[in-house]
Each structure stands twice: as structure tokens, then as C-alpha cells.
């Protein structure tokens, strides 16, 4: 069993490393930043769709879109500044579809020659107190997927769009993971896998041999925040234990120590909306199976509805994670 390091809780902030990508990690970090924690966010940078894909193709850079979202979520700046970063151009010119924050990061990358340095510069400007790291600075990082029929799918965007069931993920070439990422995992009091797409937000951080080696060596617990609903084509009909088991397949010897799931009731109307419009279903808690697994199961009323969308209540979730660290 893995234990929280640091017995004198009042002497230092607990170090939390959050692995993820997409909207899930951004939403989680927006709540965690309000707690006295030393946070390092590690972001997958293999996205090749939309604005990010265009910029990667033209400027030969790693993906900046998820990095932008995390910077925005953790910024202490005025709300209008955050909206400016997320602003997307709607025009008939080449600017169409680009997020301003992506363009800013791309320009900083050209100036500094480093995505890590670009993040640091923008974090200073936008009053980000936590550390944000890209998994790698490799410009050609490419996510690959092998379908159950043996076919190979190249690129995160195509993996997401593919109707085929993915058997495994891998990188076209082994990424050069930043030394700071490995150091953060080594020093962590908790490693947190955020909610979000398993195949395009969580697993891309677990495909590196160096990351798995660091996770195997760490004495800190590894915790997963389970999704509220399934992902079509990825986790259809998945229960909480199914998520745990699949993540453990991508981990090394050190498996998940804890999983958090929402036990909030979902209305029939909302469930039907998700089923019809997005082909998503609520993730069911299978208590009997979870009890048989070597993982601590933590449940709470964590559901909120914003803009007619099911979400984790950011503050409740963050408070639960903080309480886990402080016990």
C-alpha cells in the first residue's frame, strides 16, 4: 500500500502531479488551484486537430491547444483576459478557427525556441501560480492506434473519429519526456489522473517508458477521477471498475491506489439527452466488483449541471482530493 509522504502537514504544501489533457484536466485544475497545494500539471501534446493541427503542420511544433486551456483555467487574471485567450476567430481568412491563445503560444515558442519556456513566460503574464509542463517538446510526436481488426490509425484526430474499436495505443516514436516531468513524479505526494477521454487525454501520458518507470518507483498514491459518462467508441457500457481495469493495463507494476466517482443521481431526461445526442451513458458504480479490486473506492455527490452539460462540481471534487491528502 502506498502512503502519503510528509507527516508534518502544516510545514509544506503537498505536491500533486496531475496527468491529463483536454477539458477534463482544465476543469479539475480550476478547482484545485484554490487549495494550498504545490501543483504540477503534465499535459499531453499529441493533438493534431482543428487550430492546433493547423499550427503543428505549418510551424512544426507540439500541440498547444490543451496547454492553452490549462493556462486559462489556472490563471488568476481578469475574466476578460481568460475569454481573450479562448477567443476563436470566425472569418474567411486563414485565421478562421484559430484560438488567440494558440497563436500567442506559437509566437512565444518561435521567440524562446521552447514550449516549456513559452508556458513559463505566459504563466507569468497571466498570474499562474502552479507549474505547467508539456509531456515532451518533440515537434513530431504522433499518437498511433491499433484497432481490433489489426489496422493502424495515425494521429489523435483520426483515432477520435474512427468508428473502429482501439486495442492499444502507442507513439510513432518514443517521446523525449521532459526531465522536469520525471522529477515532479519522483517528488509527488499524489499522482492524479484527471477525468477526460482515456484514449486521447489520459493514456498518451502513460505510453512513455520513462513515465511508467517513474510511476513504478514513486511512493505516492496514484488516484483516478472517473468520468461521469462513457465515451462513444472508447468506453461504451463501461462501469467504474472497467475504467480502473483498463487504466491498470497501461500502468506498470504500480497500479491505481484510489478512484473517485460521483454517486449523484442523473435524471431520466438528462440521461436520454446524452444517449440520443452524444451516444453517451452514465458510468455505473459496480460496488461488488470494485470491492474485489485492490483499489480504494471513494464516492461522493459530485455532479453539477452547467450549460445543460453534466460536469463534476469542481470545488467539491477538489475538496475531496485535498481531504484525501490531509488525512
Predicted local distance difference test score (pLDDT) of residue 4? 41
Neighbours of 232 (CB within 10 A): 12
| pLDDT > 60? residue 103 | yes
Domain 14-44+175-326, CATH 3.40.50.300 — does that match?
A: no
Predicted local distance difference test score (pLDDT) of residue 92? 96
Q: What is the pLDDT of residues 33-84, one digit of tens each?
A: 999 999 999 999 999 999 999 999 999 999 999 999 999 999 999 999 999 9
When pLDDT is cut at 50, 70 and 90, the band that residue 5 belongs to is very low
When pLDDT is cut at 50, 70 and 90, the band that residue 2 belongs to is very low
**How far apart, in whole angstroms, are the C-alpha atoms of residue 127 and residue 1?**
37
**How far apart, in whole angstroms, are the C-alpha atoms of residue 287 and residue 181?**
34
What percent of the chain lies above the pLDDT cut of 90?
Answer: 94
Q: Boundaries of CATH 3.40.50.10680 in the chain?
A: 14-44+175-326
Q: What is the pLDDT of residues 153-211, one digit of tens each?
A: 999 999 999 999 899 999 999 999 999 999 999 999 999 999 999 999 999 999 999 99
| pLDDT > 70? residue 307 | yes
Q: pTM above 0.85?
A: yes
When pLDDT is cut at 50, 70 and 90, the band that residue 11 belongs to is low
| pLDDT > 90? residue 283 | yes
What percent of the chain lies above the pLDDT cut of 70?
Answer: 97
Q: What is the pLDDT of residues 255-267, one digit of tens each?
A: 999 999 999 999 9
| pLDDT > 80? residue 223 | yes
Predicted local distance difference test score (pLDDT) of residue 87? 97
When pLDDT is cut at 50, 70 and 90, the band that residue 233 belongs to is confident
Amino acid at each position: 500500500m502506498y502512503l502519503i509522504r510528509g507527516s508534518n502537514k502544516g510545514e509544506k504544501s503537498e505536491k500533486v502531479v496531475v496527468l491529463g489533457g483536454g477539458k477534463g484536466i482544465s476543469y479539475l485544475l480550476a478547482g484545485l488551484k484554490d487549495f494550498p497545494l504545490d501543483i504540477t500539471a503534465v499535459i499531453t501534446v499529441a493533438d493534431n486537430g482543428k487550430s492546433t493541427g493547423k499550427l503543428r503542420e505549418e510551424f512544426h511544433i507540439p500541440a498547444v491547444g490543451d496547454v492553452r486551456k490549462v493556462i486559462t483555467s489556472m490563471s488568476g487574471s481578469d475574466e476578460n483576459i481568460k475569454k481573450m485567450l479562448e477567443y476563436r476567430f470566425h472569418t474567411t481568412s486563414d485565421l478562421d478557427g484559430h484560438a488567440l491563445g494558440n497563436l500567442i503560444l506559437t509566437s512565444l515558442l518561435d521567440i524562446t525556441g521552447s514550449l516549456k519556456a513559452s508556458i513559463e513566460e505566459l504563466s507569468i503574464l497571466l498570474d499562474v501560480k502552479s507549474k505547467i509542463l508539456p509531456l515532451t517538446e518533440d515537434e513530431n510526436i504522433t499518437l498511433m492506434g491499433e484497432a481490433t481488426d489489426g489496422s493502424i490509425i495515425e494521429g489523435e484526430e483520426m483515432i477520435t473519429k474512427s468508428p473502429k474499436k482501439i486495442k492499444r495505443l502507442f507513439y510513432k516514436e518514443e517521446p523525449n519526456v521532459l526531465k522536469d516531468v520525471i522529477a515532479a513524479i519522483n517528488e509527488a505526494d499524489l499522482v492524479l489522473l484527471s477525468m477526460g477521454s482515456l484514449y486521447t487525454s489520459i493514456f498518451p501520458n502513460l505510453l512513455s517508458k520513462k513515465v511508467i518507470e517513474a510511476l513504478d518507483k514513486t511512493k505516492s498514491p496514484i488516484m483516478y477521477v472517473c468520468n461521469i459518462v462513457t465515451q462513444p467508441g472508447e468506453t461504451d457500457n463501461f462501469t467504474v471498475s472497467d475504467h480502473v481495469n483498463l487504466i491498470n493495463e497501461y500502468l506498470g507494476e504500480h497500479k491505481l491506489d484510489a478512484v473517485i466517482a460521483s454517486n449523484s443521481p442523473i435524471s431520466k431526461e438528462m440521461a436520454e439527452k446524452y444517449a440520443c445526442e452524444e451516444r453517451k451513458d452514465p458510468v455505473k458504480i459496480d460496488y461488488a466488483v470494485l470491492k474485489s479490486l485492490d483499489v480504494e473506492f471513494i464516492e461522493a455527490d459530485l455532479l453539477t449541471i452547467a450549460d445543460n452539460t453534466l460536469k463534476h462540481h469542481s470545488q467539491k471534487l477538489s475538496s475531496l482530493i485535498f481531504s484525501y491528502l490531509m488525512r
